[in-house]
Amino acid sequence: MEREGKGGFTLVARDGEARRGRLLTRHGAVDTPAFMPVGSKGAVKAMAPDELWTLGYRLILANAYHLNQRPGEQLVRELGGLHRFMGWRGALLTDSGGYQTLSLAKLTSIGENGVLLRSHIDGKQVELTPEGVAAMQRALGVDIMMTLDECAPYPASAEQVLRSVELTTRWAERSLEVERGCGQAMFAIVQGGVYPHLRKLSARQLTALPFEGFAVGGLAVGEPKAQMLDTAALAGELLPQDRPRYLMGVGTPQDLLAAIALGYDLFDCVLPTRNARNGSAFTCRGAISVKRARYARDPMPLDEACSCRPCRSFSRAYLRHLYLSGEILAARALTEHNLFFYGRLMSQARAAIASGAYQAFWRAWLGRMGESAGERE
């Protein structure tokens, strides 16, 4: 089965709801399901771009708001666009900055025209409008632009979330009016909090518009895990089969496997990179923290089953020593390991879908890793 969809997306195989796809961009093809490492400021923390490529990543995420604040999208454009600026030969997706209206909520006011916030760098007032953030992303030259959305906090009343859904739709319509560069795709973001009827409303409104893909936003913002997955399931069902589906900000390896089973194609999360800098490594038997005294004399690699560069070179004892000594190499090694882990999880998931064995693959992983993302040992 190969079904050519819109916006360069091809469904290669299905297994239940799980999808094996291929997303074509001007900067190469991206096999899905795919996890995007987060490089908000134009760099994935502790990693070099050639290392991300070697790990198999072909699509990474940056943030339009952050890059607008520093160094400014016009500077990036003058220097040849974000790909060239970063030295990254793969594809790029930028989040619009809508999520910052939540994470910097104390600083914002939201109106029909857009979002007002105070710069996290110099305190100056910044207005983000649907047209403005689309223009930023055009200037950055990214492959996939995200519309400005309003991400309601959790918890929020149904009235508040309804207003956020309708505003997000009006902003999405305005975003479509903005001129784009050659080959730039634009994804809209379904909101609706944890209210099924509002998720349905948001999905119905947005999927009526000609976007190349759809994201589900406003999850993983504090709601219970079960509610996150129920809402992701519901929202996923409402999205068209022929376009990519991006579950924003998710998540743990367990979350990714569940979301793939629901039919999601793209993911991003700071967990593998941020946890690495905090000394935590994902392994196929659960997470381990190299801070722990139990690893002081442990000659084993982070994960016995791992063939990443750090696992071929470094013991837990050495990584613990580096971490306690504040050495940059600790952050580097754990980040590379965690991104190798996430990359391998996704490539194995793609292979399992292609061979119709996703459920068995998923069960086997959970059997080894445990059902939750917490540390096992």
| Residue from 120, 291, 321, 344 in contact with its own copies (CB under 8 A) | 321
Residue 197 lies near its own copies (rule: CB under 8 A): no
Q: Which is nearer to its own copies, 76 or 167 (CB)?
A: 76
Residues 81 and 130: beta-carbon distance below 8 Å: no
Binding segment for its own copies (CB under 8 A), chosen from 214-222, 226-234, 245-253, 308-316, is 308-316
Binding mask 68-97 for its own copies (x = CB under 8 A): --xx---x--xxx----xxx----------
Residue 46 lies near its own copies (rule: CB under 8 A): yes
Which residues have C-beta within 8 Å of that of residue 119, sequence separation ≥ 6? Answer: 69, 125, 126
Distances (CA, A) of 241 to 167, 238, 341: 25, 9, 28
**Distance of alpha carbon 353 from alpha carbon 357, whole angstroms:** 6
Residue 119 lies near its own copies (rule: CB under 8 A): no
Would you say the C-alpha torsion 130, 135, 137, 142 has a positive or negative sign?
positive
Distances (CA, A) of 173 to 148, 150, 159, 293: 10, 14, 21, 55
Chain-centroid distance, C-alpha 170 = 24
Distances (CA, A) of 294 to 277, 279, 291, 316, 338: 19, 14, 9, 10, 20
Residue 45 lies near its own copies (rule: CB under 8 A): yes
Active site (catalytic) residues:
95, 268
At its nearest, how many Å lie between its own copies and the CB of residue 320?
Answer: 8
| Residue from 166, 230, 242, 327 in contact with its own copies (CB under 8 A) | 327
| Residue from 331, 334, 339, 349 in contact with its own copies (CB under 8 A) | 331
| Closest listed residue to residue 86, CA positions, set 43, 23, 46 | 43
The two three-digit tokens of residue 307, written as one number: 């063939």
| Residue from 103, 157, 278, 313 in contact with its own copies (CB under 8 A) | 313
| Residue from 55, 216, 322, 369 in contact with its own copies (CB under 8 A) | 322
- Positions that interact with its own copies (CB under 8 A): 41-43, 45-50, 70-71, 75, 78-80, 85-87, 296-297, 299, 309, 313-315, 317-318, 320-322, 324-325, 327-329, 331-333
